[in-house]
Amino acid sequence: MTKPTKGAPKRVAREAAHIVWVDSASFKEGTWTDKEDLKDLVPEETQAIGFVVAESDDHLTIASHVSEHEVGGEIAIPKCAIKKSKRWKVK
């Protein structure tokens, strides 16, 4: 963990986003699953809101918490899975 800084806080995130994507699905790891139960296993539409902390041609990374040197609650979402997104500037 980094030391808190004195004075006015720095604006570390410049953009936020609401992302809707199709997420992969699985049953609990490390357990056996009956093949009959697989019909109930389907990808699910998922939503998240966070600060845009990285982006490439392939994926978008958002985080729910940001400081000057660290992030928390981060997730990298493949752009091919994103159905909708809305971005706005952080003031």
Write down the pTM of the prediction: 0.78
Which of these, 23, 20, 17, 21, lies nearest to 62 by C-alpha position? 17
| Strand (E) or helix (H) holding 66 | strand 59-66
- Mean pLDDT of successive 10-residue stretches along the chain, which has 91 residues: 56 87 87 88 96 95 93 96 96 82
How high is the pLDDT of residue 91?
Answer: 82
How high is the pLDDT of residue 66?
Answer: 92
Q: With beta carbons less than 8 A apart as the criterion, state whether 24 and 43 touch.
A: yes
How high is the pLDDT of residue 7?
Answer: 55
